Structure 1
C-alpha cells in the first residue's frame, strides 16, 4: 500500500467523523428551530457522508481500484489524496466554526 493511499484513507475517515459531528449539531438545531437553511446543511452533510463512505470502500476493499490507484503514477495519487485532504481542511474549519 502506498503512503498516499493511506493518507487518502485517513482523510476520508476524518471527513466521516467531522461530518458526523456536524450532523449531530445541525440535526439538533433543525429539531429545535425547523429552519430550512439547517435542513439544507443536513442534506449537504448527508450526501458528503455517502461520498466519503464510497471513497472508503474504494480505498479499502476494491482491489481493482487500489491497483489502479497504485499503478497510475503520482499525478492520480496526489490528486485524489489532495481532494480528500482539502475536504478535511474545509470540514475541519466548518466544524470549528459550528462548535465554537
Structure 2
C-alpha cells in the first residue's frame, strides 16, 4: 500500500506544478484579452489546484484508509495527471 501512496503523492505533486503553469498562462491571457473563457479556465485550474493540494495533504499524513480506497484514489490522480498534462501540452505557447 505504501507504493500506491507514493505514486498518488507524486501524481498529486506533479498535478500541482502543472496546474500552477496553467494558472500562470491562463491568468496572463486573461489580463491581455479579458475573455470570459480564459477567466473560467483559470478559475477551473485554481479549483483543481485546491483539490490536489488537499489530496496531497492527506497523502502525506494518511488516515487509516483501506487498500481499495487508496488504489482508487491513485488511479484517479494518475488519470487527472494525464488530463492536466494534455491541457498543458495544448496550451503551451
RMSD: 1.2
TM-score between both structures, scaled by the size of structure 2: 0.94
Query: Deviation of residue 27 (structure 1)?
Result: 0.6
2:44 aligned partner: 44
Matches within 5 A, 1:1-100: 2-61=2-61, 63=62, 65=63, 68-69=64-65, 72-73=66-67, 75-100=68-93
Can you list the C-alpha shifts for 1:35-91, whole angstroms capped at 9, x where unaligned?
000000011000011000000111113x4x2xx23xx12x22221100000000000
TM-score between both structures, scaled by the size of structure 1: 0.88
Any idea what SS the aligned residue of 1:22 has? helix
Distance 1:94 1:39 in 2: 15
By percentage of residues, which structure has more helix? Answer: 1
Q: Structure 2 unaligned runs (5+)?
A: none
Q: Structure 1 unaligned runs (5+)?
A: none
